[in-house]
Amino acid sequence: MIETIIAANATGAVPFPDVPNLRNQTDQRIVVMDLEFFPDYVYARSFLNTTVIGTPVTEIPKIAIVLYVNGEESIRRIPIAKINYSQAPGVATVFQMERVSFDNLENVDWPKSYIQFNAAAQAVQYVLPIGVTYLKFKQQNL
């Protein structure tokens, strides 16, 4: 799980934090298989700072993610609605709930990757949680 705190009234690009266990290193290779966003009706508060609320549903249309892969901005502006696989009771979904799978997505540079806003975030900070499903290969398996 990657938790990114979104400041009140944030605009533009907000970087993902560095996540050491998702870094390729000399002794391990990381292959990302899936990304998933969790809105506030699933992830009510940050697990790292329980005073920070989850991402309100009204923020979903404002947010996309951009991933740097192999040193370049390779995956651009995936709407987080597309990677939201949980449906709030009584709420229609924008997309069909189809998984966005990746085919051997390696060398993601998380600190260079970011969350992009097309409008200012709400006036109260919140956590934006992105679940990352990945495979970790030890050096001897490379």
Q: What is the secondary structure of 54-68 as a DSSP string?
A: PPPGGGGGGEEEEEE
DSSP H/E element including 23: none
Task: Please determine, for residue 95, whether its predicted confidence score (pLDDT) is greater than 70.
Answer: no
**Residue type present at position 103:** D
pTM summary value: 0.85
pLDDT digits (tens, 9 = 90+) for 4-49: 999 999 999 999 998 888 988 888 889 999 899 999 999 999 999 9
Give the residue from 92, 101, 97 showing the smallest Cα distance to 57.
92
Task: Please determine, for residue 106, whether its predicted confidence score (pLDDT) is greater than 90.
Answer: no
